[in-house]
Amino acid sequence: MNPSLNKPIKNIACIGAGYVGGPTMAVIAQKCPKIKVTVVDINPQRIADWNDEDLDKLPIYEPGLKEVVTEARGRNLFFSTDVDAAIKEAQMIFISVNTPTKTYGKGKGMAADLKYVELCARQIAEVATDDKIVVEKSTLPVRTAQAIRSILDNVGNGVKYQILSNPEFLAEGTAIHDLHNADRVLIGGDHHTPEGQAAMDALADIYAQWLPEKRILQTNVWSSELSKLTANAFLAQRVSSINAISALCEKTGADVEEVARAIGSDSRIGPKFLKASVGFGGSCFQKDILNLVYICRSQGLSEVADYWEQVIIMNDYQKRRFAENIISTLYNTVSGKKIAFLGWAFKKDTNDTRETAAMYVASTLMEDKAEIHVYDPKVTEEQIISDLEYLSSLNYHNLRDKQIRTQIHIHTAPYTALENAHAIAVLTEWDEFKSYDWRRIYNAMLKPAFVFDGRNILNAKELKSIGFKIYQIGK
Ligand code: NAD
Ligand code: UGA
pLDDT tens-digit profile, the chain (475 residues): 444 555 689 999 999 999 999 999 999 999 999 999 999 999 999 999 999 999 999 999 999 999 999 999 999 999 999 999 999 999 999 999 999 999 999 999 999 999 999 999 999 999 999 999 999 999 999 889 999 999 999 987 789 999 999 999 999 999 999 999 999 999 999 999 999 999 999 999 999 999 999 999 999 999 999 999 999 999 999 999 999 999 999 999 999 999 999 999 999 999 999 999 999 999 999 999 999 999 999 999 999 999 999 999 999 999 999 999 999 999 999 999 999 999 999 999 999 999 999 999 999 999 999 999 999 999 999 999 999 999 999 889 989 888 999 999 999 999 999 999 999 999 999 999 999 999 999 999 999 999 999 999 999 999 999 999 999 999 9
List pocket residues of ligand 2, CB cut-off 6 Å: 139, 168-172, 232, 235, 239, 273-275, 277, 280-285, 346-347
Question: What sign results for the dihedral spanned by CA atoms 155, 159, 164, 168?
Answer: negative
Residues 303, 305, 308, 310: what is their CA dihedral angle, to the nearest 10 degrees? -80
Name the closest ligand to CA 355. 2
Name the closest ligand to CA 357. 2
User: Residue 1 has what pLDDT?
Assistant: 46
* Among 269, 419, 251, CA closest to 339: 419
CA distances from 465 to 362, 441, 459, 470 (A): 28, 14, 10, 11
Residue whose CA lies nearest to ligand 1 atom number 23: 98
User: Residue 407 has what pLDDT?
Assistant: 97
The pTM for the full model equals 0.96
Residue whose CA lies nearest to ligand 1 atom number 44: 168
Question: Is residue 362 within 8 Å of residue 404, measured between CB atoms?
Answer: no
User: Residue 205 has what pLDDT?
Assistant: 97
> What span, in angstroms and rounded, lies between the C-alpha atoms of 136 and 125?
15
> What span, in angstroms and rounded, lies between the C-alpha atoms of 319 and 342?
16
- The conformation of residue 209, written as its DSSP 8-state character, comes to T
Question: Is residue 295 within 8 Å of residue 141, measured between CB atoms?
Answer: yes
Task: Using the mean position of ligand 2's atoms as its centre, give its distance from the Cα of residue 236 in Å.
Answer: 7
Q: Mapping DSSP to helix (H, G, I), strand (E, B) and coil, where does residue 361 land?
A: helix
User: Residue 158 has what pLDDT?
Assistant: 87
Give the Cα-Cα-Cα angle 175, 177, 183 (nearest 5 degrees).
Answer: 95
> What span, in angstroms and rounded, lies between the C-alpha atoms of 15 and 25?
10
Question: Is residue 216 within 8 Å of residue 248, measured between CB atoms?
Answer: no
Helices (H), 281-380: 285-298, 302-329, 357-367
**Which residues participate in catalysis according to the annotation?**
168, 228, 284
Residues ≥6 apart with Cβ < 8 Å to 166: 94, 135, 136, 137, 185, 186, 187, 188, 203, 224
Residues 142, 96, 75, 69: what is their CA dihedral angle, to the nearest 10 degrees? -110
* Among 361, 373, 367, 378, CA closest to 473: 361
Residue 223: other Cβ atoms inside 10 A = 15
User: Residue 126 has what pLDDT?
Assistant: 95
20 lines ligand 1 (CB under 6 A): yes
User: Residue 6 has what pLDDT?
Assistant: 59
Q: Where are the beta strands (DSSP E) in 199-258?
A: 216-219
**Polymer length of the chain:** 475
Residue whose CA lies nearest to ligand 2 atom number 13: 171
Crossing angle for the helix pair 221-252 and 256-264, nearest 10 degrees?
140
119 lines ligand 1 (CB under 6 A): yes
User: Residue 155 has what pLDDT?
Assistant: 84
User: Residue 452 has what pLDDT?
Assistant: 98
Task: Using the mean position of ligand 1's atoms as its centre, give its distance from the Cα of residue 100 in Å.
Answer: 9
User: Residue 382 has what pLDDT?
Assistant: 96
Q: Where are the beta strands (DSSP E) in 104-243?
A: 132-136, 161-165, 185-188, 216-219
> What span, in angstroms and rounded, lies between the C-alpha atoms of 125 and 11?
18
Q: Is omega for the bond preceding 8 within 30 degrees of 0, making it cis?
A: no
Q: How do 11-15 and 92-95 pair as beta strands? A: parallel
Task: Using the mean position of ligand 2's atoms as its centre, give its distance from the Cα of residue 361 in Å.
Answer: 19
